[in-house]
Structure 1
C-alpha cells in the first residue's frame, strides 16, 4: 500500500575465499619483512621459494639487472653500485637462476662470452673490474687498474656452471685456476673458503673434489676459519679486514646437507650452528647482516637477501616446513 516501505535488505555476504595454508611463525614474520623492505627481486624470490610463486616473475625481475654485454650490473650485489657488469653480480645472478632451475640456454652462452672478455690472463675473474668511470663500491672491494684473478669470485661462478652441466670454452682455464687455488691453499679467509666449497660442490670430478674438500676441511679447523660454537663467537677475533663480529659458522659454508663441507662438522656442531641461525631472526622478521655497513642503501638491500638465504638453509636442513602452495592475491606493487 502507498506509504508502506519495504524492509531494508541485508546485502549478501561476499563469498569466503578458500583458506590459505597458515605459514609457520618464522616464515610469516619473514614474509612481512620482505614485503616491507625488499627489492622486487627478493620479493619474487621469496614468493617463488616459499609461497608457490611463479618462476617467470623471478626471471623477469632478474632480467632488469642484465646488460647488453651479457653480464649483470645495476647493484645486483649491493656492495657494487652503478650499472656496470661485474663478476660479483654474475655469481649472484647464477645463484638465483640455479634456484629456479633455469641456469642454461642462450642467456648463459652470452654470459660465458662476456666472462671470456673480462677474465684475467690466467683465465679467472677478478673481484672488481676496472671501470672507465668510478662508481661507489664497498671499501673491502677496492678497484685496481690490473686486478688479479680471485677464487672468491671465480669459484662460485665455475661451480654453479658445472653444477648445471654447462660446457663452454671459458670454463676450461677457469676450472684449472680453481683447482690450482683450492689444492694449494695454505692461508685463507672465511669467504674464500666458502667460494672454494661452491666450486667443489659443482666440480665434475667428484673424487678429486672430495679429496680437496677433505684437505680444506682440516685447514679450516686447524686455522679456526669457521666458528664451531656460536656461543664463543665474542671470544674470537675476526679475520683481518673483517668487521667486528663478522664470522662464518658451519651453516655458512655447508649451506645444503649434500655439500662436501657438511662432513667437516659433527652433528652437534652443525646443530648448534642451525639453532643459532634460527635464533638470529630479528623482531622485524628479517635476518641481520654482520659485514661492515659502508652505505645505508647497500646495507638495507642486503638484509632481505640474507633473509631469503637463511630461510633456504633452514629449509634444506629440515628446520623449516612450508606449504606446497599458498593462494595469494596480486603481488604488492613495487
Structure 2
C-alpha cells in the first residue's frame, strides 16, 4: 500500500448524524404481526467534516452498510436525524430529496452486480446526468469522457460493456458513474474487498487522487483494518449496530481503548521476516459468535464476548464518552 490519507483542508461539518436508528420489523404468526425488531443500527451519532475520510470498521452484521444506506436515504431511518450540508434530509419526502441526490453518491462492493450489463460504459456513466441535469447530449458526452480519463480508463473503451473489463476496471467504471455529477460526498461500501491486493492499492490511490482533485468527502466502509488505516483520517468501530469507539486513525491504531477494537487490531495478519525488534501484541481471541441484532444482550452488547466484562456491563449500557481529545469510547472501564 502506498496510499496515505491527507488531512482535510476544512473543518466544516458536511454530514451530521444524530441518534439514528434503523429497526426492521420481524413478522410472525398466521396474521404476520410484528413480534420484534432487528436492530441493524441502534442510536448512532457522529459528524463528518468537509474533505475528510471517515472509515467505519466492524464484523459482518455490525450495521455498517445499513448505516450508509440510511445516510443517503436509500432507507428511511426509524429514528434520529441526518443533516447534509445544513439540511435535515431525514425530514424530507422522496421527491424533496431528489435535488440532493447528485451531491451524495455511493460506490458498491460488487461492480459487476451494480452495473447494468446491457448498457455500454458511456451509457452507464452518462445516465446520472440524463436523470439529474438538463445537459445536452454533447455536453453529457464531454463530461463522461473527462471523468473516464480521470479514473484511468481509455476513452476508446467507452462503447464496450461491463463484462469486457476486469474487476478493477469495472470498479473504476463504478467510481466514474458515482462522480459524474460532481458530488460532495461519496460512500464507499467495501469498494476494494473483491479485488486482488495489487489492484486494491491502485484503486485506493485513485480514490485519494480524486478526493484531492475534486474536493470529495468519503465515508469508507470496510472490514479490512489495514485498508482503512491507509485511506482514513478518522475511524469509527461498530459492533452490533452501535459505535463503540471513534477517533483519529493514529490514536486508534496506536492506543485503542475498547476491548473489541483491541481484538480487531490484534487479528490483523503481520508478515514477520525476523528483522523487527518490536514485539507483536498478544492476539486477543473473542469467545462466541456475534449475537443476533434481533435479540441483542442487555447492557453492553459486547459483554457476552468481552474478556474484561463485569457485573455493571450486563445492566447498564455504556455511553460514548470523550476520554481524550477527540477520542470517544463506549466502555465501563473508562467511566
Using the size of structure 2 for normalisation, the TM-score is 0.29
More helix by share: 1
Using the size of structure 1 for normalisation, the TM-score is 0.29
Structure possessing the higher radius of gyration over alpha carbons: 1
Give the strand-richer structure, 1 or 2.
2
